[in-house]
Amino acid sequence: MSRRKVVALAGLSGVGKSTLLENVRRGLVFEHLQASDLIKAERQERQGKPVAHDLLREANNDDNQALLISGFMRYAPEEGLIVLDGHTVIDTPDGLVEISPSVFSAIDVSRFVVLVDDAEKIALRRLSDTRRTRPFRSPEELAEHQERSVLAAYRAALTLRVPLYIVPLNEDPDIAVFLDQ
């Protein structure tokens, strides 16, 4: 039996996952792993060259998910609370692509927490973030992406038979409650 608890924290790029986790770290001990960082580290390990964060969406999604699994196995601690910061649907040049529940199963996710917010607020955050190069998406497109992300998390949670929490950011949630149960 695993001595670690893996929580998949999902939400659109720009919803505020990383910022929220920074605030939670003051009162909760956990390992914060970003799916994109794990994929980049594995790709660099195998290919010997770095890849830009914002170019990950252009790579083959199945390859990226295999790299995520191997990166998680390599870098995740054997015990304690692990929060995997990532997505259930990826915005690729070919459209929205759902992550298979088998990926979450392979890393033994014990619950899903999906952060949601008003699509217009997400759009504004994305526009003001100069550190990232994201494709421009209208609030309507972001709303559709968010809805599909929630449905993908629901399907994955049902498949894995684990809890799913949809957490609206407009209610200023205490996210630690959802992470450490």
pLDDT, mean of residues 42-64: 80
Q: Work out the average pLDDT over 109-129.
A: 93
Q: What is the CATH number of domain 3-34+80-179?
A: 3.40.50.300
pTM over 0.85: yes
DSSP codes joined into one string, 3-39: EEEEEEEE--TTS-HHHHHHHHTTT---EEEEHHHHH
Report the pLDDT value the prediction gives residue 2, as an integer from 0 to 100. Answer: 60
Burial class (CB in 10 A: 0-12, 13-18, 19+), 108: middle
